[in-house]
Copies of this chain bind each other. A is one copy, B any other.
Amino acid sequence: MTYSDSAEPSPPASPPSQPSPSPASRPKVARGGKRERLAAAAAQVLHEQGVEKTTIADIARAADVPLGNVYYYFKTKDQLVEAAIDAHAQHLAGLISALDALPTPQDRLKALLAGWIDQRELTARHGCPTGSLASELDKRDDGLDQTLATVMRVLLDWAEQQFRALGRTSDARELAVALIASYQGISLLTNTFRDPEMMATEGRRLERWIDSLADQGLSVG
C-alpha cells in the first residue's frame, strides 16, 4: 500500500500556472484543491516523520498552504491524521481499480507485488506508509487505529477475492492474510536494515509462491 509513481492511475493534475515560487526541502505534493493537497501532504509527512514529530505547520509547508488557511479545513492534528487515512483509502481504491483491469487473479496479485518492489527505496527510508502509521496509532488513544484498520481490511478483502478466484476456496482468507503480513513484515525489515534489496528478494519469492498456487489451481481445475 505504497504510493507508486509508475503503475497506478494518478489523480488529474492541473499544471501549475507558474514556476513553484517557494523551493522547500521536500518535493511538493500534487496540485489540487487545498483540502486535497493538505490531506495528501499529511499522508506524506506522517510517513516521513511519524505522527508524534509532525506539526500542523510541517503539513502546511509541504502542501504549500499558508498555516492560517489550514485551520479553515482542519482544527487539530487528529483531523489531519484522519484526512491522511482517507487519502490512503482513496489511493488504495485507485490501485485496486487499476489492478482489477488486469485479466487474471495471478496477474493482479503479481502487479500488486511489483508495485511494492518498485517502492523499495522509499520503504527502506520510511517503512510502509499505512503499516508504520498503524504501529504508531496503536500507541495513541485517539481511536484512529480502528479507522486505519478499516482501510487495511479493504486490501485484505480484495486479496482474498483474488485467491478465491485462483481456486483456493477453503483458505483464501488465510492466504490473503499471509500475503499482506509478508508485505508488512518485509517493509519493517527493509526499513530497519535500510536495505531495499530485502524487499526485492522477498517480492520475488512471493511471486514464485503465487505462480505455484496458480499452477496448482490449473492442475485442479
- Which residues of A are at the interface with B, using a C-beta cutoff of 8 A? 49-50, 52-53, 126-127, 131-132, 134-136, 138-140, 145, 148-149, 152-153, 174, 177-178, 180-189, 191-194, 198, 201-202, 205
State whether B180 touches A201 (Cβ < 8 A): no
Oligomeric state, in copies: 2
State whether B53 touches A192 (Cβ < 8 A): no
Our pick among B49, B153, B202 for the contact of A193 (Cβ within 8 Å) is B153
> Which B residues touch A49, using CB under 8 A?
139
Our pick among B149, B186, B192, B201 for the contact of A192 (Cβ within 8 Å) is B149
Beyond A135-B132, A139-B49, is A181–B177 a contact (Cβ under 8 Å)?
Answer: no
> Which B residues touch A192, using CB under 8 A?
134, 138, 145, 148-149, 152
A194–B184 CA distance with the chains assembled, in angstroms: 16
A184–B181 CA distance with the chains assembled, in angstroms: 8
Beyond A139-B53, A182-B182, is A131–B188 a contact (Cβ under 8 Å)?
Answer: yes
A186–B175 CA distance with the chains assembled, in angstroms: 12
A183–B149 CA distance with the chains assembled, in angstroms: 19
> Which B residues touch A135, using CB under 8 A?
127, 131-132, 135-136, 188, 191
State whether B201 touches A174 (Cβ < 8 A): yes
> Which B residues touch A178, using CB under 8 A?
182, 186, 202, 205
A92–B50 CA distance with the chains assembled, in angstroms: 28
Closest to A53 in B: B139
Q: Which of A50, A136, A192, A205 has the most CB of B within 10 A?
A: A192
